[in-house]
Chains A and B, each alone.
Chain A
């Protein structure tokens, strides 16, 4: 399944900001689990699930994650992201396939948002199937990077 024209290519990656409160914390082990809560739509997610296109900012690396995270932060009204938050990174093609396996034909569409020219909306996405959200959390957005380790500009 190739990415439709005008969408993020299957081989590229998406970064999803996950605030600390949406991570399931194990306070004894000081660890966290990414849960379905990370993929639930917010009140202001009217265009779809909001993510950032990694390769828009350069080849995939920790430095590029820092550039993408900085652009994401600059696009927020508060210009603030939490130090204990993470970015979860997933492959666009894997996200398409996961959603298709639950009957959702998503569109992964660039939608520049102010300074975040790499902003991407996952359209035709809904958060009503917990199984899909769990699959995205555990099988697709598997790479996590803590905000605290990123070099933000």
Chain B
């Protein structure tokens, strides 16, 4: 069995197969390999290079997703993985920005599972590694920042006459849908 070992986790061919197609974990070449006797084990060196930091964050998110995969349809999962890959391109990485926090990502997935349906938010990362999801419908925008797996900041911006009305708040994830109800969130989420 081929085994990839990296700090804090272990990815085998059996669970790696959960991440096929567009949703693979690609191993940065900078990580190097080591042969161990007759086994095909590869060990990632410890120094925390940028590539390793990004790899660890992405792998953590993807492995956790594999654990909850039965709740997600494959197209949605592949889409989230692709979005994460785009956000963590090492060639585009800047300064001291942090890769995605697993807790923030869990909050995002929890919320998408709560929504059900097929809404497809755009995703961004804050410098602190929290995930922001943006929904747009005509000129009305909803932005949700997943601070942790259970807490969010949200912002609704929508035109009212010549003005743009902005409302923001922070809340527990479980309360978010109730708080958004006055803004007719179905325009962003479809029917939930």
Q: Does A134 contact B (CB under 8 A)?
A: yes
Judge whether B143 and A23 touch: CB under 8 Å: no
Determine which of B124, B166, B167 lies in contact with A24 in the assembled complex, contact meaning CB atoms within 8 Å: B124
Determine which of A32, A36, A42, A84 lies in contact with B143 in the assembled complex, contact meaning CB atoms within 8 Å: A36
Determine which of B87, B88, B134 lies in contact with A33 in the assembled complex, contact meaning CB atoms within 8 Å: B134
Q: Does A143 contact B (CB under 8 A)?
A: no
Q: Does A131 contact B (CB under 8 A)?
A: yes
Within 120-169 of B, Cβ neighbours of A (below 8 Å) are at 120-128, 132-134, 136, 141, 143, 145, 153, 155, 157, 164, 166-168
Q: Does A111 contact B (CB under 8 A)?
A: no
- Please name the residue on chain B nearest to A26 by beta carbon: B122
Determine which of A27, A78, A83, A135 lies in contact with B83 in the assembled complex, contact meaning CB atoms within 8 Å: A27
The smallest beta-carbon distance between A147 and chain B, in angstroms, is 10
Q: How large is the interface on B (under 10, 10 to 19, 20 to 34, 35 or more residues)?
A: 35 or more
Q: A24-B134, A84-B89, A129-B168 are in contact. Are A44 and B125 (CB under 8 A)?
A: no
Judge whether A44 and B124 touch: CB under 8 Å: no
Return chain B residues, CB-CB under 8 Å to A43: 96, 127
The smallest beta-carbon distance between A32 and chain B, in angstroms, is 7
- Please name the residue on chain B nearest to A17 by beta carbon: B94
Return chain B residues, CB-CB under 8 Å to A31: 122
Return chain A residues, CB-CB under 8 Å to B133: 24
Nearest 6 pairs between A and B by C-beta?
Answer: A82-B92, A19-B94, A24-B122, A24-B124, A20-B92, A131-B166
> What residues make up the interface of B, taking CB atoms closer than 8 Å to A?
79, 82-83, 86-89, 91-97, 120-128, 132-134, 136, 141, 143, 145, 153, 155, 157, 164, 166-168
- 16 additional A-B pairs beyond A22-B124, A31-B122, beta carbons within 8 Å, are A20-B86, A21-B87, A21-B88, A24-B121, A24-B133, A26-B122, A27-B79, A33-B124, A36-B132, A40-B127, A41-B127, A42-B95, A83-B91, A85-B94, A131-B155, A134-B143
